[in-house]
Amino acid sequence: MPSALARPLARLIDELSKLPGVGPKTAQRLAYHILRGSGNDAELLAAAVRSVKTDLRYCSVCFNIAESDPCELCSSDERDQRVVCVVEEPLDVLAIERTGQFKGVYHVLHGAISPVNGVRPDDLRIAELATRARGSGIEELILATNPNLEGEATAMYIAQLLSGSGARITRLARGLPMGGDLEYADEVTVSRALEGRRAL
């Protein structure tokens, strides 16, 4: 039986539906939107997708996504290099930066410890954090992992691992809802959580 859907369009729908949060219906709407748009718009979209894969890298200091190495935040003279905010994902850096309250630097773990999902400490950038904390004049580590079971386990693991590093180890205050993700929190909530951080 012949298909009512042209092969290139079906392929685009299939690829779009692989994106997180994009189901088959949304993938169809996006594909038809791209189809109806100008050729130039499609080329710009394709170029942006290619650029993400070819022009970005991980900062060798903080492991955030960046165009240069070290990234702009790590190489800035205006940031306090003695205060490091430890987050799970690059999107968490954006959430904290939106507040305009934090003037230190970051360390991105790229996940959280989760035995259920097979994520162990060795799968994260914890060893690099330990090396960084023990050798570069860091005075405070703010553990800004998400306020859920995995985030709490990760924060406790890091606090125990680095307890003798000489750095003060703090945790974001409970202004963030339990079970929520940092990237979805509003600026006021994240600001209050930063201001009310406590020692572990």
Here the CATH number for the domain that contains residue 107 is 3.40.1360.10
- Distance, in Å, from the CA atom of 89 to the CA atom of 161, rounded to the nearest integer, reads 20
Do 93 and 162 belong together in one domain? yes
Which band of pLDDT confidence, cut at 50, 70 and 90, is reported for residue 105?
very high
Range of the domain at 47: 7-52
Instruction: Report which of 105, 102, 107, 97 is spatially closest to residue 63, judged by C-alpha positions.
Output: 107
99 and 171 together in one domain: yes
Q: In this structure, which amino acid lies at residue 4?
A: A
Least confident range from 90-99, 127-136, 174-183: namely: 174-183
Query: CA-to-CA distance for 77 and 40, rounded, in angstroms?
Result: 40
Domains in the chain, number: 2
Residue 169: inside a domain:
yes
Task: Judge if 34 and 128 occupy the same domain.
Answer: no
pLDDT class of 2 with cuts at 50, 70, 90: low
- Examine the domain organization and report whether 145 and 88 are in the same domain: yes
Please state the rounded mean pLDDT for residues 161-181.
Answer: 82
Residue 15, domain CATH: 1.10.8.420
* Structural element, H or E, at residue 143: strand 140-143
The reply to whether 67 falls in a domain is: no
**pTM: predicted TM-score of the whole model, two decimal places:** 0.78
Within a domain: 66: no
Q: Which two tokens stand for residue 68?
A: 């240069």
Give the whole-angstrom CA distance, residue 115 versus residue 167. 28
Instruction: Give domain status of residue 151, yes or no.
Output: yes
User: Largest alpha-carbon pair distance within the chain?
Assistant: 71
Is residue 1 domain-resident?
Answer: no
Residues with Cβ within 8 Å of residue 112, at least 6 apart in sequence: 88, 119, 124, 145, 146, 150, 151, 153, 154
Q: What is the pLDDT of residue 28?
A: 95
| φ, ψ at 97 (rounded to 5°) | -65, -30
pLDDT grade for 186, boundaries at 50, 70 and 90: confident
- Whether residue 58 lies inside any domain: the answer is no
Identify which of 162, 123, 156, 125 has the alpha carbon closest to the alpha carbon of residue 141.
162
Residues 92 and 186 in one domain: yes
For residues 30 and 94, state if they share a domain: no
Instruction: Tell whether the model's pLDDT for residue 1 goes beyond 60.
Output: no
Predicted local distance difference test score (pLDDT) of residue 3? 67
* pLDDT at residue 181, as a whole number: 80
User: Does residue 169 sit in the same domain as residue 132?
Assistant: yes
**C-beta of residue 31 within 8 angstroms of C-beta of residue 16:** yes
What pLDDT does residue 113 have?
A: 96
Q: How confident is the model at residue 47 (pLDDT cuts 50, 70, 90)?
A: very high
Determine, yes or no, domain membership for 145. yes
